[in-house]
Structure 1
Amino acid sequence: MTKSEQTRQLVADVALRMFREIGFAKTTMRAIAGEAGISVGNAYYYFASKDDLVHELYLQVQAEHAAKAAEELHDSGDLSARLKTVLHAGLDVMAPYHRFGADFVATAIRPTSPVNPFAAGSTTAREASLSIFRAAVDGAKPAAPKKLRADLPELLWLYYMGITLFWVYDTSEGQQRTRRLVDGSVPLITRGLSLARIPGVGKILDDVLSLSRSVRS
């Protein structure tokens, strides 16, 4: 790692630590620079704004989520169990940042934000997250219905986005309401997916998939 890369990583590490310890609003670029022992101008050289640092957090969280999910997933297991494992792993790695979750949403919700999860600038982090759900689907036994398999990881990722939004505003101790939502909704989803094998219902799911593809293209 070059000296420049080391300095960039130092700025990112200091910023993320300060986000966790004092919150997003109280963390300024000047304070980050001071903690890192560099000039404010140097800090801005690596990250143009706090939005860019939130993007760095987004990337780090996805990497930690992928590592934790891979460690906890096993080769066998039905989709319900694997999906719960993936979702709880995501909640685990996000937990230290809950105190500024609303700030993150306020930053990410802007269409032009570099951390908007649907924006081109978030492609790397989004693909990292999608790969987690692909692994959950691909390793499930019995396998997910064939007609759904290609679309399912992205649909589950969208569901995870909804879970994340619920988690942001969950004020229960340890965000246990979100945990209950995961444990209660995952079986409903997987039971619904099993209906794809029923001819009449399968046609309805075909229409749902067609609509989903049209709005994602």
Structure 2
Amino acid sequence: MTQPPAQRGEQTRQLIIDTAVRLFGEQGYEKTTMRAIATAAGLAPSNAYYYFPSKDHLVQEFYTRIQVAHREAVAPHLAVQSDFGTRLHAAMTAGVTAMEPYHAFAGKFFRVAADPSSASNPFSDESEPARTMSQAIFRDVVGGATTTIDPELREVLPELLWLAQLGVTLFWVYDRSPGRGRTKLLVDRAVPLIDRMVGLSRLRVLRPAVREALSLYRALRN
């Protein structure tokens, strides 16, 4: 039976993405061209360019794939856990797990993504869809927690947790320990600290400092 065009198109897209991920790992991001990806996938270059006009567009699909895997990995934990620290630990651990298949080329890729002018930069306009997906995961972490959180902090906490996850990601990129054990240690030790700071933010004596810190964060992000 002949496949519908939409289904064939989706299979072709996935073939291109899978091929690109493999070549990035074998050759590095910078040395892998769209023509090489098309050839390795058994496609005409024009066909590959039809779905992805550039490698930057491929990278956004790569980001989206990671966020989908992150969401799927953490969802069962968020469905049964209500403590903020437990939910955050599950989210950060699931994020690392979702990235692990790409560790082989993550270092080379990061050098490109770290360029502020690159469309692959996680803060770029092009990365906004994946960034929104990631922040939505942490919004669920916060929103489903029964732990009392300062209302003003709660508003921006998902964004702050996303930034913390970026820090974990950077550490993971350069982690060469067996099984990424040092990254696991970072998450295990950092989450209780974040949990404690979130709890302390409710104290009346610390509210002025918390408000000042949040004001600074808003000023920097705008």
Matched, 1:29 2:34: yes
Query: What is the aligned length?
Result: 216
SS state of the match for residue 121, structure 1? Answer: coil
Aligned partner letter, 1:44: Y
How do 1:192-203 residues align onto structure 2 when only pairs under 5 Å count?
A: 192-203=197-208
Aligned partner letter, 2:117: T
How do 1:166-185 residues align onto structure 2 when only pairs under 5 Å count?
A: 166-185=171-190
Cα deviation code 1:85-133 (max 9, x no counterpart): 0000011110010111112211211223222111111111000000000
Q: Paired residue for 2:127?
A: 122
Matched, 1:141 2:136: no
Cα deviation code 1:74-94 (max 9, x no counterpart): 343311111010000011110
**Distance in 1, Cα, partners of 2:180 & 2:128:** 28
**Distance in 1, Cα, partners of 2:169 & 2:74:** 16
Q: Paired residue for 1:12?
A: 17
Residue 144 of structure 1 and its aligned partner are, at CA, apart by 2.2
Residue 4 of structure 1 and its aligned partner are, at CA, apart by 4.3
Q: Paired residue for 1:70?
A: 75
Say if 2:148 and 2:199, in contact at 8 Å, map to a contact too.
no
Matched, 1:43 2:44: no
Cα deviation code 1:110-169 (max 9, x no counterpart): 223222111111111000000000111111122322221111000010111111001101
**Distance in 1, Cα, partners of 2:70 & 2:91:** 8
| Runs of 5+ unmatched residues, structure 2 | 1-5
**Distance in 1, Cα, partners of 2:118 & 2:76:** 32
Residue 70 of structure 1 and its aligned partner are, at CA, apart by 1.2
Say if 1:54 and 1:104, in contact at 8 Å, map to a contact too.
no
How do 1:91-130 residues align onto structure 2 when only pairs under 5 Å count?
A: 91-130=96-135
**Distance in 2, Cα, partners of 1:23 & 1:127:** 30
Distance 1:117 1:165, change over 3 A: same
Normalising to structure 2: TM-score of the pair? Answer: 0.89
| Runs of 5+ unmatched residues, structure 1 | none
Aligned partner letter, 1:206: R
Say if 2:149 and 2:202, in contact at 8 Å, map to a contact too.
no
Normalising to structure 1: TM-score of the pair? Answer: 0.91
**Distance in 2, Cα, partners of 1:183 & 1:5:** 38
Say if 1:23 and 1:99, in contact at 8 Å, map to a contact too.
no
**Distance in 2, Cα, partners of 1:164 & 1:81:** 19
Percent identity of equivalent pairs? 46
